[in-house]
Amino acid sequence: MKLSELVILIRAVDPDCTYMDDAGQHVTTEWLVGRFAGRGFVAPTIEGALTEMCEYLNQHIGHNSIVGDAVTKSGWPDLKKVKEYLKAKK
């Protein structure tokens, strides 16, 4: 998966899920799992924050939880499947 494609998808789904402040570049999982189960990641660069988020989502594939359910059903990490999953949720 290309991180550049992932950040474009995230910003298209929910632009508030990425932002920069004094702490660094932030990205949250809310674009995929919703506000209730969302988690944030911060790093000096967007690539660093996305990498941390991807590792977190990968750990939850098949996990019996809200996050695991969304990650597994979405087809993560296949972005084509994730896009279709998100379209169907709208």
Enumerate the domain spans of the chain.
3-89
Strand order in the sheet with 40-43: 18-21, 24-28, 40-43
Q: Is the pTM of this model over 0.85?
A: yes
pLDDT band at 90 (very low <50, low <70, confident <90, very high): confident
Interval 46-87: pLDDT, tens: 999 999 999 999 999 999 999 999 999 999 999 999 999 999
The amino acid present at 38, given as its one-letter code, is G
Q: Indicate whether 89 pLDDT > 90.
A: no
Per-residue pLDDT tens digits for 15-45: 999 999 999 999 999 999 999 999 999 999 9
